[in-house]
Amino acid sequence: MSATNNANQSQVNLVAVFQAAHDIARELDVEKLFELSLSALLRLSKAQFGVVILANSQECTIAAVSTERSPDLEIAQAQCIPLACTEHSSLPMLMVRYTLDNCIETIWNQDNPDPHFADDPYWLAHSPLAGLCLPLCEAGELLGAIYLEDNDSNLILQAEYLQVLRSLCQQVAISLVRSRELSSITQRKEFEEALQRSNSLLKAQRETSFDGVLAVDEQGRIVSYNNQFCELWQIPDSVLQSVEYGGLLSLLQHHLQLPDGLVEALENAYDSPEKYTQREIYLADRRVIDCYSGQVHSPEGKFYGMVWYFRDVTERICILQELRAEQERSERLLLNMLPEKIAKKLKHSRASMADGFEEVSGAIKSESSAQ
């Protein structure tokens, strides 16, 4: 009776198998997943060597390997070494490639070698008793493979162990997919947060600017503006939200009677070879607006649109005009006070009175001495 019970008892530690499956299912960090999975597979199968291979659209890479063939196994990340750069003495390349190319399980039995990869030089260098390469597949997608090797027995080739190893590799594939999905979600959230932060900073920068800002895309649609722009041009926010670039210019021309030449210049700004332009706009209501525009391009040179900056410089222009008028009055008064010969000479000179001070002083002294 006792002999019968022992025969029916499983050689596999099912408690350890369930614990390993549970740990693998919970692990979503890719590096930790590889370390945990490879360690569990080697421990349960009593194999001495293992490798995790990752497959992607470009190339296959070695993601993790066992560093010691001993009970105190340590796992070392292989830093994603390209499989093509791996030496043939380090891994049975024909067997691994056959698994990856056909997405099927492959077995090496020294007593009954498979002819598909019997000529692999790896067998001559190491002569393992048994080797097993299991594909990592989920929903028809090949994610990679796990290679296990036993130098002491062919335990990994026994049906009971094979079933356990297949199930655990399937769980590894599921966890790998979940990890990638989580990573994609995390990256998308981080990108959205960074974009939101950038937009908030740009909005704060726009709203704290002294300039009225207007940005349009390559199709002429308004994509951004600030309150200063609305106040400067006295345009309701609701109008800007519904009008396109050309319509906006028509609106400005209708309400503010913009010169036709200016409207034409703004409409043809897209065709201008100059990236940046600056001009002063003199409006019918006696305001003077300084207008600075710039084209927006990607680093590769793709045109994205235009940005306009408007500032009311009426007060500055008025002050400059008053200063210029005062200077002209002062010069006229001084010319009336100077001798006729010197006054005529200064009238025909392009230099200002201040610039010609030394010459005038010398001329006056000379004339005084002559008298």
User: Residue 164's domain is classified under what CATH number?
Assistant: 3.30.450.40
290 domain residue, yes or no: yes
User: What does the block give as tokens for 327?
Assistant: 């200077």
pLDDT score recorded for residue 254: 65
Range of the domain at 233: 209-312
Question: Same domain, yes or no, for 145 and 219?
Answer: no
Question: Same domain, yes or no, for 239 and 289?
Answer: yes
With both helix axes pointing from N to C terminus, report the angle between 14-26 and 30-45 in degrees, rounded to the nearest 10: 170
Question: Same domain, yes or no, for 137 and 257?
Answer: no
Question: Same domain, yes or no, for 54 and 180?
Answer: yes
- Alpha helices (H) in the chain, listed in sequence order: 2-8, 14-26, 30-45, 93-102, 121-126, 159-207, 227-233, 237-240, 245-256, 260-267, 314-337, 340-347, 357-370
Q: How many domains does the chain have?
A: 2
Q: What residues of the chain score a pLDDT lower than 70?
A: 1-10, 67-80, 242-274, 331, 334-371
CA-wise closest residue to 364 among 337, 339, 334, 346: 339
CA pair distance 194, 197, nearest whole angstrom: 5
Contacts (Cβ under 8 Å, ≥6 apart) of 12: 44, 160, 161, 164
Question: Same domain, yes or no, for 139 and 16?
Answer: yes
pLDDT score recorded for residue 273: 58
225 domain residue, yes or no: yes
pLDDT score recorded for residue 234: 78
**Bridge partner list, 294:** 276, 307
Question: Same domain, yes or no, for 168 and 220?
Answer: no
353 domain residue, yes or no: no
Q: Which of 286, 312, 338 is the last residue of a domain?
A: 312
**Bridge partner list, 308:** 214, 293
Q: Which of 184, 200, 231 is the last residue of a domain?
A: 184
328 domain residue, yes or no: no
Domain with residue 289: its CATH number is: 3.30.450.20
**For 295-323, what is each residue's pLDDT tens digit?**
888 888 888 888 888 899 999 989 988 88
89 domain residue, yes or no: yes
319 domain residue, yes or no: no
pLDDT score recorded for residue 137: 92
pLDDT score recorded for residue 365: 55
33 domain residue, yes or no: yes
Question: Same domain, yes or no, for 59 and 159?
Answer: yes
Percentage, residues of the chain above pLDDT 70: 74
Question: Same domain, yes or no, for 100 and 136?
Answer: yes
CA pair distance 249, 306, nearest whole angstrom: 14
343 domain residue, yes or no: no
CA-wise closest residue to 56 among 180, 185, 172: 180
CA-wise closest residue to 163 among 36, 296, 6, 17: 17
Torsion of CA 264, 267, 271, 274, to 10 degrees: 80
Question: Same domain, yes or no, for 78 and 21?
Answer: yes
Question: Same domain, yes or no, for 96 and 145?
Answer: yes
Q: What is the pTM of this model?
A: 0.54
Q: Which of 294, 312, 330 is the last residue of a domain?
A: 312
Question: Same domain, yes or no, for 278 and 163?
Answer: no
pLDDT score recorded for residue 88: 74
| Dihedral sign (CA 195, 196, 198, 199) | positive
Question: Same domain, yes or no, for 158 and 99?
Answer: yes
